[in-house]
Structure 1
Amino acid sequence: MSFEAKGIITAMVTPLTADYKINEKGLRKLVNYMIEGGVHGLFVVGTSGEFYGFTAEQRRDAFQICIDEAKGRVPVYAGVNGITTAEAVSYAQMAEEVGADAISVLTPMFISVTQAELYQHYADIASSTKLPMLLYNNVGKTNVNIAVDTVVKLSKIKNIVGVKDSSGDFTLTSEYIRNTYQAEKPFYVLSGRD
């Protein structure tokens, strides 16, 4: 698997029409605006993209529109966030079907999980797809934090290629880097508050 996460990867908003449908024209315009502005990738239907407000069909439409409009100029990272593992697996498979370049997966929300359960959650999602997968730590939104040891264990799974840390805790981010720097394969640590 050849994959590289680099540069500015924008967490996109998802434009809607007045009747709450995906605004295809607006989304295509936004994709081009971002790419012409020099971004190196697009996070689609993540926390900034308000994933929680969309049906599966709307997510598929947003993924497809962004992939189609990006035309391979930059990678498209599909947000496959779900409350349950099964839900996230279904979105991961959807992202692969429509041609996403990678997926980003938020920790479960609304439930408390142990680190062992969190490991299994991510391992199950990774095994459901061939796409490169980024773990997504956003404790402020989910109240679930991915421990450094858990990230290290997950980094050994072939298609788990990195972690996006939106915790705002730079000590944690630096520990992710320090503990995965010498990994057997490239492992990317991204940081951004979105």
Structure 2
Amino acid sequence: MPVAVVTGAARGIGAAISDRLASDGFEVVRLDVDDGAGVLECDIADHAAVERIAHDVGPIDVLVNNAGIWRFGPIETADPADIQRVLAVNVGGTFNCTQLFGRSMLDRGGSIVNIVSVAAHSPNPMVGAYSASKSAVLAFTRQTAVEWGPRNVRANAVGPGFVPTPGTG
């Protein structure tokens, strides 16, 4: 049975992706900072935490980097800690999962799908570093494709528009 890892899988888009992969015959490892039924608690911004889970899970076939956060407010009053957290989860977490889960795909093949956002191309006011973080993930997706494509790993980004979920308020 093929194995897929989905981050941000406790609710919303991540839960829907996980359910679809499961119905398509994948064993799905669901990661989220919020634990729940069938979800492993993991802060993907924590490299060591991702490394432990990747070691326990073993080789995978599909990685969906879906987890993402934002902090609302104008740039001029943004809390630097909030900006750093958005970057740590959205960019750092995508890097951590790609590196640590993706290694198992090298040379044997696999697929990485990074969920970005239309905000990567069309920023909206009052979302702090969110648009910049999603632009960085888009560039990282291209970098992964360039480096790992010749080693039989596909890397793609999907940029949905606004999707009403519990995470979007």
The TM-score bracket by the shorter chain reads 0.3 to 0.5
TM-score, with structure 2 as normaliser: 0.43
Larger relative CO (CA 8 A, sep 6+): 1 or 2?
2
TM-score, with structure 1 as normaliser: 0.39
